[in-house]
Amino acid sequence: MSEPVIPRPKSEFLQVECPDCNKVQRVFNHASTEVKCLVCNCLLAKPAGGKCKILGKIVEPEKKE
């Protein structure tokens, strides 16, 4: 019962929920600039040493269908 290991790309999009207005938007987890909520301008993610620190609530990784 072993599933093949699918190599995960280092970078991906996440669905991040804004803590203020609950709007969910895509955030690139390796964004090199600050990512703000499109609705209320709340800071959702900021760059931190190559990777992005997500300040909002991560709902789920974006799924590929």
Residues that bind Zn ion (CB under 5 A): 18, 20-21, 23, 37, 39-40, 42
Q: What is the nearest approach in angstroms of Zn ion to the Cβ of residue 19?
A: 8
What is the 3-state secondary structure of 12-49? CEEEEECCCCCCEEEEECCCCCCEECCCCCCEEEEEEC
Q: What is the nearest approach in angstroms of Zn ion to the Cβ of residue 17?
A: 9
Q: What is the nearest approach in angstroms of Zn ion to the Cβ of residue 38?
A: 8
Which residue, 39 or 59, is less far from Zn ion as judged by CB? Answer: 39
- In angstroms, rounded to a whole number, what is the distance separating the alpha carbons of residues 58 and 38? 16
